[in-house]
Amino acid sequence: MPATKPIVIAHRGASGERPEHTLASYTLAIEQGADFIEPDLVMTRDGELVARHENNIAETTDVGSRAEFKDRKTTKTIDGVKYTGWFTEDFTLAELKTLRARERLPMLRRDNTKYDGQFEIPTLREVIALAKSAAVSRGRPVGIYPETKHPTYFASIGLPMEAKLLAELQAAGWDRADAPVFIQSFEVDNLKALSKQTKVRLIQLLDTDGGPADKAQPSYAAMITPEGLKAIAVYAAGIGPNKSLVVKNDGTAMPLVADAHAAGLAVHPWTFRAENFFLPASLRSGINPAGHGRLEEEISRHLAAGVDGFFTDYPYHGVQARDRQSR
Ligand code: G3P
Ligand code: CA
């Protein structure tokens, strides 16, 4: 594996400190030293890519309080799960731009609610522009790490994501192997298709349970075997595993990093968060779920296990832990 420093990927921006997937969240992440900012991507009705973790925007915007969109509330089945809410594919970009973001986790991140109602939903184009201008003003690379969310579902409703994503990267001059870009997906076949259309580095996401929504592989468990990892290496540059596939909550390192490196794959686990609620019991401080525990120690465990980067909601702590380890 390369001898470069592990990369700090700002998960949904500095989402521990600002409402996720807003330019304010990405900007703070860059100020804190993140190497990459992560937009999750979904489609609008008019075929634009916007940054949201899911196409149901009920939880992370003020859409529910907007009388003009009352009749857009609906129920849909996406990747086999039923959701009720408002969906990006039922809105034009112009309509989505009238909405404002809200904190997803107000019980755990109460301070962030003071920003509710302030920030727009950004487009991928705006996220790229932000990364580019920050790279110039800060004199260092700032990359993007976009994730295609529900690609099979969006293709099924006539809004395929991949061609649009590549067009945006091409327009930015970033549709090339050395671009500061990784494209990630929990699905398999859209990454395989992308691997034939672009040299941009691709990352296969892996979870502890279940399998890819496109059913291209029977389970994530099969994909993390040495044979499964060799198959991923045919189309991807790396894997993005759930952190507990790398280091167990009791601190025991798993063989995944060594197996992935043997297959030629980089390893970027997710997601490192400061709140006790998300930390292993031994790294919590106090009993308040919203209190902050020893996040940097958790990240250090993964760095010691040999990861090549990691996703965190708290890029400041990510940079601190990474730089301490790299010294
Ligand atoms: O993309 C890495 C990590 O973000 C995957 O989980 O659900 O936060 O997109 P999610
Ligand atoms: Ca993601």
Helix or strand or coil: residue 221? helix
Q: Which amino acid is at 9?
A: I
* CATH architecture type of domain 7-55+119-326: Alpha-Beta Barrel (3.20)
Nearest CA to ligand 1 atom 1: 147
| pLDDT tens digits for range 298-322 | 999 999 999 999 999 999 999 999 9
Percent of the chain with pLDDT over 70: 99
**Ligand 1 nearest atom to the CA of residue 53, by list position:** 9
Q: What's residue 3's pLDDT?
A: 61
| pLDDT tens digits for range 160-212 | 999 999 999 999 999 999 999 999 999 999 999 999 999 999 999 999 999 99
Average pLDDT rounded to a whole number, residues 256-272: 98
DSSP state of 162: H
Task: Please tell me the distance from the alpha carbon of residue 67 to that of residue 182, in angstroms, as a whole number.
Answer: 39
Question: Average pLDDT of the chain?
Answer: 97
- Residue-range domain boundaries for the chain: 7-55+119-326
Q: Is the distance from the beta carbon of residue 11 to the nearest atom of ligand 1 less than 6 Å? A: yes
11 is catalytic: yes
Marked catalytic residue, from 11, 268, 302, 317: 11
pTM of the model: 0.97
| pLDDT tens digits for range 18-62 | 999 999 999 999 999 999 999 999 999 999 999 999 999 999 999
What are the start-end ranges of the H helices in the chain? 23-31, 93-96, 124-138, 151-156, 162-171, 189-195, 220-223, 226-233, 256-262, 295-304, 315-326
Whole-number Å distance, alpha carbon 304 to ligand 2 midpoint, is: 23
Q: Is the distance from the beta carbon of residue 270 to the nearest atom of ligand 1 less than 6 Å? A: yes
Rg of the chain, C-alpha, whole Å? 19
Nearest CA to ligand 1 atom 10: 53
Q: Is the pLDDT of residue 154 over 60?
A: yes
53 is catalytic: yes
Residues in the chain: 327
Helix or strand or coil: residue 18? coil
How many degrees, rounded to 5, is the angle at CA 21 between CA 185 and CA 314?
90
| pLDDT tens digits for range 52-95 | 999 999 999 999 999 999 999 999 999 999 999 999 999 999 99
How many degrees, rounded to 5, is the angle at CA 60 between CA 55 and CA 62?
105
Q: What's residue 246's pLDDT?
A: 98
78 in Cβ contact with 155 (< 8 Å): no
Give the 3-state DSSP-derived string for 230-294, with helices as H, strands as E and coil as C.
Answer: HHHHCCCCEEEEEHHHCECCCCCECCHHHHHHHCCCEECCECECCEHHHCCHHHCCCCCCCCECC
Whole-number Å distance, alpha carbon 71 to ligand 1 midpoint, is: 30
Q: What's residue 2's pLDDT?
A: 47
Q: Give the number of the ligand closest to the Cα of residue 204.
A: 1
How far does Cα 167 stand from its chain's mean position?
20
Task: Please tell me the distance from the alpha carbon of residue 311 to that of residue 271, in angstroms, as a whole number.
Answer: 5
Average pLDDT rounded to a whole number, residues 246-264: 97
Order of strands, sheet of 143-144, starting from the edge strand that comes earlier in the sequence: 143-144, 36-38, 7-11, 309-312
How many degrees, rounded to 5, is the angle at CA 125 between CA 151 and CA 205?
35
